[in-house]
Amino acid sequence: MKTPIRSNLMLVGLLAASLARADTLDGLLAEYKSEGAGPFDTRAGAALWQRKFPSADGAPRACTSCHTSDLTKPGRHAGTGKAIEPLAPSANAKRLTDRRQIEKWLKRNCKWTLGRECTAQEKGDLLSFLRSQ
Amino acid sequence: MKKTLILSLLASAVALITVALVADDDEDRYEAHEREHYGESDQDDDHERYEHASGSGSAYLSDPQYALYKAECGGCHMAYPPAMLPAASWRAMMGNLEDHFGDNAELDVATATQVAGYLDRYAAGRGRGEYGERSWRATQDRTPPLRITQTDYFIGQHHEIPDKMVTGNPQVGSFSRCETCHLGADQGDFDEHGVRIPGYGRWDD
């Protein structure tokens, strides 16, 4: 009884999410460009994703510390061990659809990983990489 | 032609969503009823639920701000019952989210204010819950503890548990991961009968 409704709902949901994602990301990338950044490079984003940064506690930090290299798989919070849902939109349609969430996590996680906020260029490269996953 | 097809697809999608939402709503109501019932049958038990002055067990879970708290704080760790720390502890913590036990947990001002207000409402000592009372008494006249695991009450409840079952247990790792052993932790249920330590099973002291 529920299955056809659920699967139809899922399709509509996926469509809505991908529209919201395109909207949100295009808006953010345009803002970064207006700050003088761009063009954005998926490969630069991929490299930044893997890059290890030194930290005060001695253990190098990277995006992959928590999210791993396979973005279609769940990650694991390096400190608390809590599961993190996949970041790849192909595996998790909700991802990159909410501007507030994107900005909040970029700010927090750039500070944790790089020890500073990311530049507009870095954020644009990262988002370009992430949306392609 | 194409336009008509898209329009009719959209219309049927809206109809389907409506049906599905109504069905889900019924389900939610049913679950809420079940929870209520379960809560009532527990009242005479010595279960350590985190009661609030309202009298209903686990009131922090039914507060409209719980969803926000769970989303913002529960994104990285369990959404701990606010009664596990006194208000002064939560205030100190919310004032230093930039260095949150080594992690950056910054929130925008509006969100931080809402979360801080929520934590304050259900902090230890705000209600008459047994745990909250004891936790509150134990922390008066001291620097507010920032870690739940450093409160006397927590230590008293856990000191007999060998390290190998928690910090040395790869499936647990830390005493701060309540939910790995307390299977009802998400529902505010920390009764020891609901404890299953991964790799070790039940805990009876």
Predicted pLDDT of residue A84: 94
Question: What are the Cα distances from residue A26, in Å, to A4, A40, A99?
Answer: 33, 12, 11
Distance separating alpha carbons of residues B69 and B21, to the nearest angstrom:
24
Overall size of chain B counted in residues? 205
Q: Along the 205 residues of chain B, how does pLDDT read in single tens digits? A: 455 555 555 555 555 554 444 444 433 433 333 333 333 333 333 344 444 333 335 889 999 999 999 999 998 999 999 989 989 999 999 999 999 998 899 999 999 999 999 999 999 888 655 565 666 666 666 788 899 998 888 998 999 999 999 999 999 999 999 999 999 998 989 988 899 999 999 887 6
The residue of chain B with its CA nearest to that of A57 is B102
The residue of chain B with its CA nearest to that of A9 is B17
Q: Chain B partners of A59 at a C-beta cutoff of 8 Å?
A: none
Asked if A80 lies within 8 A of B176 by C-beta distance, the reply is: yes
Tell me which of B76, B111, B180 to substitute to probe the interface with A (most A C-beta atoms closer than 10 Å): B76
Predicted pLDDT of residue B63: 94
pLDDT grade for A80, boundaries at 50, 70 and 90: confident
Interface predicted TM-score (ipTM) of this complex, two decimals: 0.77
Distance separating alpha carbons of residues A65 and A52, to the nearest angstrom:
9
Query: B49: helix, coil or strand?
Result: strand
Predicted pLDDT of residue A92: 94
Asked if A12 lies within 8 A of B13 by C-beta distance, the reply is: yes
Predicted pLDDT of residue B4: 53
The residue of chain A with its CA nearest to that of B171 is A81
Distance separating alpha carbons of residues A123 and A44, to the nearest angstrom:
10
Q: Chain B partners of A108 at a C-beta cutoff of 8 Å?
A: 103-106
pLDDT grade for A89, boundaries at 50, 70 and 90: very high
This prediction has a pTM of 0.73
Instruction: State the nearest Cα–Cα gap between A89 and chain B, in angstroms.
Output: 18
Q: Which long-range contacts (CB under 8 A, 24 or more apart) does A42-47 make?
A: A42/A125, A42/A128, A42/A129, A42/A132, A43/A129, A44/A125, A44/A129, A45/A125, A45/A126, A45/A127, A45/A128, A45/A129, A45/A130, A46/A129
Q: What CATH superfamily classification does A4-131 receive? A: Cytochrome c-like domain (1.10.760.10)
For chain A, which residues make up each domain, given as ranges? 4-131
Average pLDDT over residues A1-28: 83
Instruction: State the nearest Cα–Cα gap between A108 and chain B, in angstroms.
Output: 5
Instruction: State the nearest Cα–Cα gap between B4 and chain A, in angstroms.
Output: 18
User: Position of tokens 């889900």?
Assistant: B24
Distance separating alpha carbons of residues A122 and A37, to the nearest angstrom:
9
| pLDDT mean across residues, chain A | 92
